[in-house]
Chains A and B, each alone.
Chain A
Amino acid sequence: MIRRPNQRRTLLLLVAPAFIFVFVFFVLPLIFLLSQSVLPEDGGFTLTGYVDFFQSRVSRIVYLRTLKLGLIVTGISVVMSYPAAFVLARMPARRRSFLMSLVILPLMTNAVARTFAWLIILGRRGMINQTLLSLELVEQPVRFIFTETAIVLGLTQLFLPLMVLPLVSAMENIPDDVLEAARSLGANRLTTFARIVVPLSSDGLVLGATLVFTGSVTAFVTPAILGGSRLLLMSTLLRQKAVILFDQHAAAVVAVVMIATTLAVNLLLRVGRVRQA
């Protein structure tokens, strides 16, 4: 490590420009947002915005729905990714790196394009309805769009890679010898998986779950397209309050609740990790 007498000045030169930028254009707006949520335009400090939010039936429903769908999406992602990530982690490096680049492909495409596909699949004349109609399982097209199912499907497709990536990198570090040892000592596949693979990949699981959950409860595009104003989540509620109802005070409250929720989840993760270490 470099230690020189003018280290402070060098450090300041290196860090200050970016720090000032982030402070002025990122931290200050958030502080202003926080103040907006407790200082309505026509009065002094008040917490009524928060009281109103949690007393209003609509916003309570929206908040709980957001958390519920976030949990469902996280659960589905865990179940879908776990065995698949294990196969990926055990693959020869070349094939794995090709398959991993396919996993990150959805992550690199914009959410509007990806969510749009679900309109074609789930729409009134979409793939599923055409199939159901032609098999004569239903007489009228079933409404899938603007349902919780549609939002869950869209969000799962969006955030699944965020579960697969950390799981694969955690499982890559499990040596083959450990698995063979377990097998040769008499553990069957399921026992090996439950007692060796799962505990040794728990770091990846926790990280993936946090990413998927916080992604799901804050995503905007998917609930906007697949839920619309009929089935609001926190993000679409924020947009509605700010742009359609022009209630900046209430919108600021929704925004702060969203930040608090994601920070709480991330903090829980950090506490969990410290305890493990």
Chain B
Amino acid sequence: MVSRWMYASLVVLYIFLLGPFIIIFMASFGANATMAFPPQGFTLDWFANVFETSQFIDSFWISLRLALLSTIVSLIMGMPVAYALTRFQFAASGFVETVFSAPILVPGLVIGFAMLNFFVLLGDMHVMTGLFIGHTAILFPYSVRVVSASLRNLDPYVEDAAVSLGANRLRGFLLVVLPNMRAGIAAAFVLGFITSFNNVPVSLFLSGPGVTTLPVSMLSYLEYYFDPTIAAVSTLLVIFTVVLVQTAERALGLSQFV
């Protein structure tokens, strides 16, 4: 059933998907500053430039802190919702599910814009607080959905058995349910972290002077300079992501949750 031209289409697909990464790699080591292709010579200057540009270093730390914080908070608040959706039957469950998947249906740029206007209305808000609120809100679809998926695979009677054997509800949850949710929680964590870490549209409006995320500062760098520094940043980020994603895929089978 699988014919030769189908294999050819697979090769074309992968060239198209991965080719741009190879080009970024090559460009980040090229010696000429004008981004001509193919790059001439070999240099690590652009990588050095990345670490000397405070714009990138500062925004990297902001992105990292923001991604960790918003992922953890959205998981802490989202996990109980996932538990309620999978363990209880209640009339509003459809509505609750819709509300928590809504942030994925609304365009990111619109969310950022709406939040900025709303935060201005609320009065002076610290830029980092705004970013944190925005990122936490857009991560709920991941934390609720992915954790729900892993809870659905767990037989509810396992928990009931623990309770009937004398554990109270909380103990039953902590000792029986939680350990079984580990893979789902870890998958939700990785997905949430990456979503926040890479987000541009929401951060774009919520960033402020001096407080910018890494992708947004890359975008604004591109407005003024066109040199391989961005290629070097991208190369570093790709390596970072590959390590993270491959580890998660090996451990958890991430692609079934995306």
Contacts and interface: CB of A to CB of B under 8 A. Distances in A.
A123 B10 contact: no
Interface residues of A, number: 89
Contacts of B215: 110-112, 221
B200 A87 contact: no
Majority DSSP secondary structure for residues of A touching B? helix
A241 B253 CA distance: 42
Contacts of B106: 30, 259, 262
B209 to A, nearest CB: 14
Interface in B235-258: 237-238, 241-242, 244-246, 249, 253-256, 258
Nearest to A98: B249
Interface string A33-73: 10010000000000000000000000000000000000000
Nearest to B106: A259
16 contacts: A25-B118, A30-B111, A33-B110, A84-B10, A86-B2, A87-B7, A101-B245, A106-B18, A110-B215, A114-B234, A126-B37, A218-B108, A220-B108, A220-B200, A258-B107, A266-B105
Given A10-B88, A30-B106, 5 more contacts: A108-B241, A109-B237, A113-B230, A123-B37, A130-B38
A97 B7 contact: no
Given A83-B5, A220-B109, A220-B204, A110 B198 contact: yes
B173 to A, nearest CB: 11
B35 interface: yes
Contact of A80 (B1, B9, B113, B200): B9
B146 to A, nearest CB: 14
A268 interface: no
Contacts of A7: 88, 90
A18 B80 contact: yes
Nearest to A165: B258
A259 B110 contact: yes
A224 interface: yes
A164 B13 contact: yes
B66 interface: no
B164 to A, nearest CB: 12
B84 interface: yes
